[in-house]
Amino acid sequence: MSVPIIQEGLYIDGQWSAGDEHLRVINPATEALLTTVKGGDQRAVDQAVTAASAAFAQWSKTTGAERGAVLRKIANGVQARRERLMHVQSSNNGKPQFEAGIDVDDVIATFEYYAGLAEALDVGQDRVVELPSEDFAARVRREPCGVVGLIVPWNFPMVTTAWKLAPALAAGCCVVLKPSEVTPLPELELAAIIAESGLPNGVFNLVCGTGLAVGAPLSADPRVAKISFTGSNAVGVQVMQRAAETVKGVSLELGGKSSLLVLADADLELAVELASGGGFFNAGQMCSATSRVLVADEVADEFLLRLTARAEAIRVADPFDPEVEMGALVNQAQYQRVLGHIDRGLSAGARLVCGGDRPADLPHGYFLRPTIFTEVPLDSALWCEEIFGPVLCVRSFATEQEAIELANDSPFGLVASVVSRDAVTAERVANALQAGLVWINAPQVIFPQTAWGGYKQSSLGRELGPWGLQAFQEIKHVIRAV
């Protein structure tokens, strides 16, 4: 399949056009230039927000059923182009085809789920509110909050977008989407599907470009009611500061430093699979990576032996290799960042168990071997900071309480995993962990029905589920004298 190439980086008011900002888009597995996307700047943002503001008057008055029908069309369009989207996802991001397939299926499920919630809105609208007085009657409405700006990163292109876009459209908001300048191609393909879905012009707009040229003016535009952002903490703070000037709503999905806890009675084969998935899926470029692996003293040596064998057997290869297990990191900058973390970890005295460099058979591309450290100092960057690469730190613990304290000792609190044969213990530990989502004996499965987001500096608000929809709604009560 040849790589589908959309070079026009602006979709505004129902029209495709090329902006003046040239974004070089590469294939991280080959380092070759895929294409140059012609993105925009402040002027394009201004045009997109103008179009979205004009469209809001009509779109905000549509019924939930009408909006649900459009969302189902988008889901069907994504389904129909599943192969093509998988191809673009792997080409631009470097992730294996099977992972790209999971991404596309998640996008379909998300649009279908929010189609259902949009339809249900009509039933719940104007619900009567019981009052402790016979002199007044009240009803409650949920209304779209306005024009919203969606800013997303490069690690799960299309998926992070779907988690914001589907509920925003379901709520009746009009959207300006800014994809990552590193991975604009999946969002461009998604935009092409949306363009055929029957949405009125201006309801959905896309502006490709850099953070400073597009993300910053979008966060500052006074006509934008809300920014939903996924990315790094440093940028999240900047977005929040800009949004503060016009008291915009802000939802943030930021970094993580999550733990996987292997209790003494754990099924070790399962624990190894879950640790491997939590650390090496998407080449570890996951906000939810369980990069701290905490293992009970009794099984620590045996677990580390098995995990090391598993990591060394992982087939790192081109994303289109039929036997690939782990693909490439997304670009040169991320590759260097992760190698820098590995170097600093060694300087801090951590012990490298395996990995730490590129596979010998892959001289080109941003490939890294799955990497495991032990004896990682608790005050080192390797232990404390988000690495966003295929690097696990394994540490043993003596008691359940110690494991919980180690896991919670972080400014982040996105997710956690617990592996134990004892359901009561596992549930007790899950309840004690400061994380928005805890998996017990399960891989990192995510359902549109369950919320995404975390404690502390990992998130502000929640995505997915009804919470994801509420993030784009205002609540209005009407009280009438009777």
Looking at residue 145, its amino acid is C
Contact residues toward ligand NAD (CB under 6 A) are 151-155, 160, 178, 180-181, 210-212, 215-216, 219, 230-232, 235, 238-239, 253-256, 287, 386, 388, 414, 458-459
Tell me whether residue 287 is one of the annotated catalytic residues: yes
Q: Which is nearer to ligand NAD, 355 or 389 (CB)?
A: 389
Closest CA relative to residue 45, chosen from 197, 223, 169: 223
Spatial separation of the C-alpha atoms in residues 127 and 343, rounded to whole Å: 59
Secondary structure of 243-274 in the HEC alphabet? Answer: HHCCCCEEEEECCCCCEEEECCCCCHHHHHHH
Which token pair is 150?
């969606």
Instruction: Write out the DSSP string of 445-457.
Output: ---TTS-B--EET
Give the C-alpha distances (Å, rounded to integers) separating 122 from 64, 74, 143: 6, 20, 11
Alpha helices in 216-368 (DSSP H): 216-220, 233-244, 268-280, 297-313, 332-347
Spatial separation of the C-alpha atoms in residues 406 and 267, rounded to whole Å: 22
DSSP class of residue 16?
E
Cβ(283)–Cβ(95) below 8 Å: yes
Write phi, then psi, for 83 (nearest 5 degrees): -60, -45
Cβ(100)–Cβ(319) below 8 Å: yes
Write phi, then psi, for 328 (nearest 5 degrees): -100, 155
**Minimum distance from CB of 41 to ligand NAD (Å)?**
13
Looking at residue 65, its amino acid is A
Q: Which is nearer to ligand NAD, 318 or 463 (CB)?
A: 463
Catalytic residue among 187, 189, 253, 386: 253
Is the Cα dihedral 10, 178, 333, 281 positive or negative? Answer: negative
DSSP class of residue 8?
B
DSSP class of residue 389?
S
**Minimum distance from CB of 111 to ligand NAD (Å)?**
18
Q: Which is nearer to ligand NAD, 284 or 345 (CB)?
A: 284
Q: Which is nearer to ligand NAD, 209 or 355 (CB)?
A: 209
Q: Which is nearer to ligand NAD, 215 or 365 (CB)?
A: 215
DSSP class of residue 213?
I
Q: Which is nearer to ligand NAD, 36 or 58 (CB)?
A: 36
Q: Which is nearer to ligand NAD, 155 or 308 (CB)?
A: 155
Strand order in the sheet with 15-17: 15-17, 10-12, 204-207, 174-178, 147-151, 224-230, 249-253, 459-460
Q: Which is nearer to ligand NAD, 259 or 374 (CB)?
A: 259
Write phi, then psi, for 470 (nearest 5 degrees): -60, -25
> Taking the mean position of all CA atoms in its chain, how far away is CA 395?
27
Tell me whether residue 393 is one of the annotated catalytic residues: no
Look at the block and give the residue holding tokens 């690690």. Answer: 155
Catalytic residue among 173, 174, 287, 393: 287
- Any idea which residues carry the catalytic annotation? 253, 287
